[in-house]
Copies of this chain bind each other. A is one copy, B any other.
Amino acid sequence: MSKTDHKYSTVHYRNYLSLDKLLSAQNLRSEAQGEKPAHDEMLFIIIHQTYELWFKQIIHELESVVELFRKEKVDERTIGNSIIRLERIVSIQKILIDQIAIMETMTPLDFLDFRQHLFPASGFQSFQFRKVENLLGLETPQRMTYNGCPYSSVFSPEKEEVLMQMERDTSMFEAIELWLERTPFLKVGDFNFLEEYKKAVDRMLAKERKAIKESPFLTEDEVDMRINMLEGTDNYFSVVLDKEKYKALQEKGEIRMSYEATVSALFINLYRDEPILHLPYRLLRCIIEIDDSMTAWRYRHAQMVLRMLGNKMGTGGSSGHSYLNATAQKHMIFKDLHNISTLLIPRSELPTLPDHLKKNLSFYYTNVA
């Protein structure tokens, strides 16, 4: 057969999708052990398999985006495509969350028909899920321990080494951090973003303080409470405006992202309408959505386990619900990006950009044509 022939050799849907392999991969343990097959075990296997297929897809997308962003110089022409891939992840995560509803059509009683056969297998042993976490940038110290064992101990030594290597490699968190740190524009000519921003924050807080104190509708106690909360906000602003304070919090582990990256992310969020900043803004928003969806998935997963098992221990030997619930709180990776919202100020208070900077932030054609 010539090369041309081969190129167009006939391909059938069945071969293309390896359906023989795929559709023979559902082996009911209840059946394997000589018992009457438990009807609902099929669902249990198939839904987990769809999860693993989607995890593979998420890994495929994350790896490609990290690859693009860990470069010294990120090509502007790849940002649009990266966003499309991250949006795809969000769209997959939505299905991962929604399809928990399918699992919930399995009642606790039906689960008990085959649960004993699963022992001691557990979702805790999903290698791909750990890869997703590591690719995003979850750090070991952030991780919940599980029955006192490190998360990687349930895998073969080879797989364990893969996870360890991933921890050393550049994750999405680090790639984005590096990319943010390289944002130009923060100091151009006589424009110093941080200084202008600081003035704007002071103006804004003074206004709010005045409004609270002069309000004829608040009791004295309410005024005090609100002023107190405002001071809290003030403190938060002061941290990002003072590199030393920031570093102190970083050392205490309360902040992870570098000072420079945080300031850039703030700049991008505030001036997102400028053409050159709009896609970077969208990219950051996508990452927040991915992080949020991970959290939402963990919660829904925890809820489902509670409904299925109540306080029974999971097949892996853990108290599934409380472990999962705790990871939802602790395993958030990009909370520093979430916190940028705290630092935003209204558009009406925003320092005006000088013309030469605006030019730099827009299209060549607009300025030259």
Q: Is A206 an interface residue (CB 8 A)?
A: no
A147 to B17, CA, bound (A): 23
A218 to B317, CA, bound (A): 12
A184 to B365, CA, bound (A): 10
Contact between chains at B42 and A57 (CB < 8 Å): yes
Q: How far does the Cβ of A222 sit from chain B's closest Cβ, in whole Å? A: 7
Partner of A57, one of B43, B108, B276, B309: B43
Residues of B within 8 A of A348 (CB): 113
A117 to B362, CA, bound (A): 33
Residues of B within 8 A of A115 (CB): 346
Binds B, one of A134-142, A168-176, A190-198, A267-275: A267-275
Partner of A25, one of B21, B76, B77, B118: B21
Contact between chains at A9 and B217 (CB < 8 Å): yes
Q: Is A88 an interface residue (CB 8 A)?
A: yes
Partner of A347, one of B76, B77, B113, B306: B113
Which residues from chain A sit less than 8 Å from chain B, CB to CB?
Answer: 1, 4-19, 21-27, 29, 33, 39, 42-43, 45-46, 48-50, 52-54, 56-57, 60, 64, 76-81, 84, 87-88, 91-92, 94-95, 98-99, 101-102, 105-109, 112-113, 115-128, 147, 184-185, 208, 211, 214-218, 222, 225-226, 229-230, 232-233, 236, 269-270, 272-276, 278-279, 281, 285, 288, 292, 295-296, 299-300, 303, 306-313, 317, 319, 338-348, 359-369
Q: How far does the Cβ of A40 sit from chain B's closest Cβ, in whole Å? A: 9
A46 to B278, CA, bound (A): 27
Q: How far does the Cβ of A98 sit from chain B's closest Cβ, in whole Å? A: 6
Contact between chains at A119 and B295 (CB < 8 Å): no
Residues of B within 8 A of A23 (CB): 52-53, 56, 128
Q: How far does the Cβ of A85 sit from chain B's closest Cβ, in whole Å? A: 8
A208 to B118, CA, bound (A): 13
A114: nearest residue on chain B (CB-CB)? B346
Q: How far does the Cβ of A205 sit from chain B's closest Cβ, in whole Å? A: 12
Residues of B within 8 A of A91 (CB): 101-102, 105
Residues of B within 8 A of A147 (CB): 225
A105 to B91, CA, bound (A): 8
Contact between chains at B364 and A310 (CB < 8 Å): no
Contact between chains at A33 and B13 (CB < 8 Å): no
Sample of 20 more A-B contacts, CB < 8 Å, known A13-B121, A107-B285: A8-B217, A11-B117, A12-B121, A13-B122, A19-B52, A22-B22, A26-B56, A50-B53, A77-B275, A78-B273, A80-B275, A87-B105, A109-B347, A116-B211, A119-B211, A185-B365, A275-B279, A296-B303, A361-B364, A364-B364
Contact between chains at B29 and A208 (CB < 8 Å): no
With A8-B214, A9-B217, A105-B88 in contact, do A362 and B364 touch (Cβ < 8 Å)? yes
A/B interface sample: 18 pairs, CB < 8 A: A5-B215, A13-B125, A16-B118, A19-B127, A22-B49, A39-B60, A50-B54, A80-B273, A95-B99, A109-B269, A112-B346, A225-B317, A229-B319, A230-B313, A295-B303, A310-B340, A310-B343, A312-B341
Contact between chains at A310 and B12 (CB < 8 Å): no
